């Protein structure tokens, strides 16, 4: 059985049926952010260049499915400008692409590591960055105070003891972000905090994205996010 083909057909059926007839919008998660682009009638220019979406809204006037730009993640959490900073990205899927384009817009120097080197090179080319083989990640240290963003599945349940970067290598980073939110306090974030880095979890990004989507889905006012701790 062609499971990949079946999955694509199922995504199309669910997206078009549920959104057109039942729902006002939907949030799109891993691993469907790239495939679901094909189901949209209109796509935001940024999402089109990224090649992935995380938010789809049904337009009431004609029922068309409209992609709307979602939260950008780490770039909105950085406590200081990232322009000119080396932004090391692990992962080149939908979330990784969104982070890469967001960092590019803010003037960061983007360096991409991915287990599939060809995908890393393709994304690096799209954002005028550099790509390296994944096995060189721990030895990559051209300067201190870099920014690290993990957009891979390293550390996600059930593999909670995994981390894409060794604890010793984390000493080169000032800010470490992990898009993984189950668990919230990943091994990567624990070890980064232990060596003195400022850390941001995927929960912050997830909640920020959800609040933005709430406004798009309901047309109502936003909600002030709760204080996040621990």
Find the angle CA(60)-CA(210)-CA(222) to the nearest 5 degrees: 75
Q: Read off the DSSP letter of residue 12.
A: H
| 3-class secondary structure per residue, 54-93 | CEEEECCCCCCEEECCCCCHHHHCCCCCCCCCEEEEECCC
Task: Verify whether residue 33 is a known catalytic residue.
Answer: yes
Catalytic residue selected from 33, 38, 48, 224: 33
CB burial string 138-159: b at 16+ within 10 A, e below: beeeeeeebbbbbbbbbbbeee
- Burial status of residue 225 (CB atoms within 10 A of its CB: 0-12, 13-18, 19 or more): exposed
Q: Catalytic residue positions?
A: 33
């Amino acid at each position: 059985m062609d499971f990949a083909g079946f999955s694509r057909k199922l995504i199309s059926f669910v997206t078009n049926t549920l959104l057109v007839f039942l729902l006002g919008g939907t949030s799109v998660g891993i691993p469907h952010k790239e495939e679901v682009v094909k189901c949209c009638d209109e796509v935001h220019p940024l999402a089109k260049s990224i090649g992935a979406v995380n938010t789809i809204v049904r337009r009431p006037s004609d029922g068309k499915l409209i992609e709307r730009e979602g939260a950008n993640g780490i770039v909105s959490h950085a406590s200081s400008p990232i322009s000119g900073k080396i932004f090391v990205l692990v992962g080149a899927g939908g979330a990784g692409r969104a982070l890469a384009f967001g960092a590019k817009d803010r003037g960061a120097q983007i360096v991409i590591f991915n287990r599939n080197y060809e995908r890393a090179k393709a994304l690096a080319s799209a954002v005028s960055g550099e790509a390296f083989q994944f096995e060189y990640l721990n030895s990559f240290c051209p300067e201190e105070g870099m920014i690290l963003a993990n957009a891979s599945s390293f550390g996600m349940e059930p593999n909670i003891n995994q981390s894409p970067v060794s604890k010793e290598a984390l000493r080169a980073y000032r800010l470490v972000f992990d898009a993984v939110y189950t668990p919230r306090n990943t091994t990567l974030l624990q070890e980064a905090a232990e060596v003195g880095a400022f850390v941001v979890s995927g929960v912050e990004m997830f909640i920020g994205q959800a609040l933005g989507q709430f406004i798009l889905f309901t047309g109502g006012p936003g909600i002030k996010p709760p204080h996040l701790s621990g």
